[in-house]
Amino acid sequence: SKRYTITVLPGDGIGPEIISVAKDVLKLTGSLEGIEFGFQEMPMGGSALDLTGVPLPDETLSAAKQSDAVLLGAIGGYKWDNNPKHLKPETGLLQLREGLKVFANLRPATVLPQLVDSSTLKKEVAEGVDLMVVRELTGGIYFGKPRGIGTNEHGEEIGFNTEVYASYEVDRIARVAFETARKRNKKLCSVDKANVLEKGEEPVKVQENKELTIGVMSPHTAQVVAIEDTLGHKDENVNGFTLKVKSVDGFQGGEEDIIIISTASMFWRKRVTAIASEYPDVELSHMYVDNAAMQLVRNPKQFDTIVTNNIFGDILSDEASMITGSIGMLPSASLGASGPGLFEPIHGSAPDIAGQDKANPLATILSVAMLLKYGLGEEIAAKRIETAVLDALNKGFRTGDIYSAGNKLVGCKEMGEEVLKSVDAQVPAA
């Protein structure tokens, strides 16, 4: 039979509670599907700090790298909040993601019919939502340099971080997103802040009375601004300039006199737009992040696949989770070009409910399903777990965060036991 080694990192707070349940689910599913798992449990986060003095011990990272997949609970807690940066649990998590080179973070937000009443949004808004956030995970402001605390020209103390993306980083996450959208409803929305971030190239000087063809790699509103920046004028026919402006859709590249890529979170947008030519079957749109945050609660069903940078993806996925009823429902898969993937719920260590058997283990159990599907290619076993989760919900079992009237309130352990029963009860597919 098949055998896989799984590095298990319970972490802090509710981490050990949800991991214990999820590990049992993985073990039982494996035994029913003819898959054997060797688990190696390693310290990580605050508990590793207490034990070894660092948030990600070398042994933990090398074990993770040598395994077939990594399962993480959650890290962090009040106790370590005031530690210097290199001694924070969160730093350990960033080091782990960087060390495993898992640049693509898939965070699906699906409103299950069983949980429509748990959403804080109206039934007709939440019902049927099924979207995927593709979050860039190893770049952007989380890792950009320069960063730190310093002094400005007036002698005042300043804190600074840098949002920086290399073209290869945007290109590869864009490709993952297009591939993801291709397998879904073929609609990709790239979320950025191209209207504000990173003012790029110097305005181009143009000769009077020359007919220019200008290719603009931006949507219409940004286009006008870009032309204004370039020519110092708003109109498209002024002072003898004749402009032939190509829209984004028509933009091919090559025959233009000027290509404006001036306002450059544009850079993100430019790269995603360039990669789009490889995926003509996927419909690409762009949205500013503030609007996206609003649209997610106004009409979330407009979204299929969303691709965005590290920090916007962090924020938007927490927001999207609440549409589904609770952050305790959202799993994630973090994948690189090769090597083991990292699988974890999107929520944190929930110190406010830690140790009370109140945590919802379903986000972690669903992360185990993603581990099987995306990490090991074991789709049948993954399906078994997903079905078991639906089954437990169908029977009315609810942890506090997704509880609604008429259901059975259970703790973390009991929810886990119900999922285990459902994993066991399923008749294997013929």
Q: Which residues are catalytic?
A: 142, 193, 290, 314, 318
Q: How far is the CB of 184 from ligand NAD (least distance, A)?
A: 24
Distance CA 229, CA 203 (A): 6
Residue 384, contacted partner among ligand NAD, Mn ion, ligand IPM, none, CB below 5-8 A by kind: none
Tell me the per-residue interface mask from 171 to 210 with ligand IPM, x by CB under 6 A, - otherwise.
----------------------------------------
90 touches ligand IPM (CB under 6 A): yes
Choose between 109 and 217: whose C-beta lies nearer to ligand NAD: 109
Its sign, for the CA torsion 35, 97, 374, 112, is positive
Residue-wise burial string across 260-276, b where 16 or more C-beta atoms lie within 10 A, e elsewhere: bbbbbbbbbbbbbbbbb
Q: How far is the CB of 34 from ligand IPM (least distance, A)?
A: 33
Q: How far is the CB of 135 from ligand IPM (least distance, A)?
A: 8
Choose between 35 and 350: whose C-beta lies nearer to ligand IPM: 350
Choose between 267 and 312: whose C-beta lies nearer to Mn ion: 312
Residue 415 in contact with residue 326, Cβ under 8 Å? no
Site size toward ligand IPM, by CB under 6 A: 7
Distance CA 327, CA 330 (A): 6
The token pair at 70 is 């990594």
63 touches ligand IPM (CB under 6 A): no
| 84 cis-preceded (ω within 30 degrees of 0) | no
Residue 29 in contact with residue 384, Cβ under 8 Å? yes
346 touches ligand IPM (CB under 6 A): yes
Block residue for tokens 């430019």 = 270
What is the bridge-based pairing of β-strands 130-136 and 305-308? Answer: parallel
333 touches ligand IPM (CB under 6 A): no
Choose between 351 and 396: whose C-beta lies nearer to Mn ion: 351
Residue 378, contacted partner among Mn ion, ligand NAD, ligand IPM, none, CB below 5-8 A by kind: none
Distance CA 327, CA 318 (A): 7
Q: How far is the CB of 423 from ligand NAD (least distance, A)?
A: 19
Q: Count the Cβ atoms, other than its own, within 10 Å of residue 20.
A: 17
